């Protein structure tokens, strides 16, 4: 049963990220709507409406057939053009910014809904046209369905204008950076609130003598699903330490868990089953996933082929504010179950690891650009001044500042630029 739940959870996430999810769902609704409208054409209510407002109901067979044929051809053109624009946008985002941005652009619900309405209207008009052929030229009872088809076609034209505007805004890099920042900021705020409500912060716990459990998979650690733990295990008096932090890559055979008390082989397998290990590093923006995307945007912007310091500066500023929040997390947190009998200990990404993954690549790629270095120094100094950060995390940021100062002294050749940037270190 637990395996089925895990399968459905994984499938649900994949379906939501698919570009075909909303189009398929909306198309099915339109098919149901077409069948319903055909049934409603013969009702007394529709007959009464035809008598009161006859100018909205088309009774001529040839007119309805020509109108629906025109709608079908036009909507096919709109759909093909819209899909082509999506592919162009995805290709441009992948080449100019980062291929890691594609999942978030593909899963844009607004674009999926618009494409779904296009395809749904196309199916609706096709079914009504087929019904005309079935009833023949003697039929005059499809005026209501034809009127709805005309209204849907007008809606598609309005949505096409909105789609052009939306897709042109979606590809603008400052909008992409802002959306990533908002998603990550919301995630961090939610985690900080969770920590304040029911989790206990820990700085150190000695688990060297605990029993180690090695993983049977290679990939990126995406989380530990507590709901998949067996009910009997939750009632045991035990403590579990999750070794990898979120988004950390682990190899098959690495120690993934430690438990204080001995457990059976079935319970050990159940704990490993609760671990979500994915081959995709950028499956979502949880943990530092979104910040990694910002780092890659900044690095790509500083590549010789792009050479866009403005984009790199924007990404560095957003990354600095997110890191200042992330550094407020303690090294470890514990969650209790069954009135404190079972304790689950998981780790946050260490500050030194954050500097290595997120700041170091920007420092190396932009060490010849004084404008980006200026903003990077300001961002790191902002982290040092931010409240709620432990001394160990603050020392890691200071260490990165020292490395940045060393790079500046060795790579910035202009004396004036070098002196102007180094003066920032004296002001901190």
- Residues 39, 129: one domain? yes
pLDDT of residue 21: 81
What is the signed CA dihedral for 180, 10, 90, 185, rounded to 10 degrees?
0
- Residues 219, 166: one domain? no
pLDDT, tens digit (0-9, with 9 covering 90-100), for 52-75: 676 667 777 777 788 888 989 988
- Residues 185, 326: one domain? yes
> Using CA atoms, how far apart are residues 179 and 186, in angstroms rounded to an integer?
11
- Residues 108, 235: one domain? no
- Residues 194, 296: one domain? yes
pLDDT, tens digit (0-9, with 9 covering 90-100), for 360-410: 999 998 888 889 999 999 999 999 888 888 888 999 999 999 999 998 888
Give bridge partners of residue 241 from the DSSP assignment: 258, 345
- Residues 143, 200: one domain? no
The single residue listed with the structure tokens 């082509």 is 84
Residue 412 burial by CB count (10 A; 0-12/13-18/19+): exposed, middle or buried? buried
Confidence of residue 3 (pLDDT cuts 50, 70, 90): low
- Residues 40, 162: one domain? yes
Q: Which of 260, 224, 237 is nearest to 347 (CA)?
A: 224
Looking at 171, 200, 215, the residue that finishes a domain is 171
Find the domain containing 120 and state its range.
Answer: 2-171
Phi (first) and psi of residue 387, to 5 degrees: -75, 160
Q: What Å distances lie between residue 21 and 104, 127, 156, 195, 364, CA to CA? A: 14, 22, 19, 34, 41
pLDDT of residue 289: 82
pTM: 0.78
- Residues 195, 221: one domain? yes
- Residues 237, 181: one domain? yes
- Residues 153, 253: one domain? no
pLDDT, tens digit (0-9, with 9 covering 90-100), for 74-91: 888 888 887 787 777 777
**Are the C-beta atoms of residues 75 and 160 closer than 8 Å to each other?**
no
- Residues 229, 93: one domain? no
pLDDT, tens digit (0-9, with 9 covering 90-100), for 306-333: 888 899 999 999 999 999 999 988 888 8
- Residues 162, 182: one domain? no
pLDDT of residue 55: 63
pLDDT, tens digit (0-9, with 9 covering 90-100), for 335-372: 777 676 788 888 888 899 999 999 999 999 888 888 99
Q: What is the average pLDDT value for the chain, to the nearest integer?
A: 82
Crossing angle of helices 143-170 and 21-40, rounded to 10° = 160
Looking at 146, 171, 196, the residue that finishes a domain is 171
> Using CA atoms, how far apart are residues 89 and 106, in angstroms rounded to an integer?
10
Number of domains in the chain: 2
Confidence of residue 422 (pLDDT cuts 50, 70, 90): confident
pLDDT, tens digit (0-9, with 9 covering 90-100), for 248-268: 889 998 988 888 888 888 888
Q: What Å distances lie between residue 157 and 33, 78, 85, 122, CA to CA? A: 20, 8, 16, 13
Percentage, residues of the chain above pLDDT 70: 84
Looking at 120, 142, 171, the residue that finishes a domain is 171
């Amino acid at each position: 049963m637990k395996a089925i739940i895990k399968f459905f959870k994984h499938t649900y996430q994949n379906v939501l990220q698919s570009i075909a999810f909303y189009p398929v769902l909306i198309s099915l609704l339109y098919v149901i709507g077409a069948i319903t409208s055909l049934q409603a054409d013969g009702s007394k209510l529709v007959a009464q409406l035809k008598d009161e407002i006859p100018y909205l109901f088309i009774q001529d067979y040839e007119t309805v057939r020509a109108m629906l044929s025109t709608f079908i051809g036009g909507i096919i053109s709109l759909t093909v053009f819209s899909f082509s624009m999506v592919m162009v946008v995805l290709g441009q985002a992948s080449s100019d910014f980062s291929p890691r941005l594609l999942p978030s652009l593909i899963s844009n619900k607004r674009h999926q809904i618009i494409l779904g309405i296009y395809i749904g209207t196309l199916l609706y008009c096709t079914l009504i046209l087929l019904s005309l052929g079935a009833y023949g030229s003697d039929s005059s009872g499809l005026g209501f369905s034809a009127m709805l088809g005309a209204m849907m076609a007008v809606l598609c034209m309005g949505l096409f204008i909105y789609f052009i505007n939306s897709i042109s805004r979606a590809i603008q890099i400052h909008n992409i950076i802002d959306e990533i920042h908002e998603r990550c900021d919301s995630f961090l705020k939610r985690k900080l609130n969770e920590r304040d409500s029911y989790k206990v912060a820990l700085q150190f716990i000695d688990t060297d003598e605990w029993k180690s459990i090695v993983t049977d998979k290679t990939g990126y650690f995406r989380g530990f699903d507590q709901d998949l733990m067996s009910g009997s295990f939750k009632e045991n008096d035990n403590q579990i330490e999750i070794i990898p932090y979120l988004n950390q890559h682990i190899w098959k055979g690495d120690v993934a868990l430690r438990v204080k008390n001995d457990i059976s082989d079935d319970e050990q397998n159940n704990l490993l089953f609760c671990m979500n290990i994915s081959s995709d590093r950028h499956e979502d923006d949880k943990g530092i996933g979104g910040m990694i995307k910002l780092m890659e945007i900044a690095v790509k912007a500083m590549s010789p082929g792009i050479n866009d310091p403005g984009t790199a500066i924007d990404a560095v500023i957003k990354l600095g504010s997110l890191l200042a929040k992330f550094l407020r997390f303690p090294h470890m947190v514990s969650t209790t179950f069954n009135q404190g009998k079972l304790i689950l200990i998981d780790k946050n990404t260490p500050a030194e690891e954050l500097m290595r993954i997120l700041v170091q690549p920007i420092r190396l790629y932009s060490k010849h650009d004084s404008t980006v270095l200026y903003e990077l120094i300001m961002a790191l100094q902002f982290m040092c001044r931010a409240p709620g950060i432990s001394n160990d995390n603050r020392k890691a940021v200071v260490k990165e500042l020292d490395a940045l100062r060393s790079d500046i002294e060795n790579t910035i050749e202009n004396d004036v630029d070098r002196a102007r940037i180094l003066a920032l270190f004296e002001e901190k």
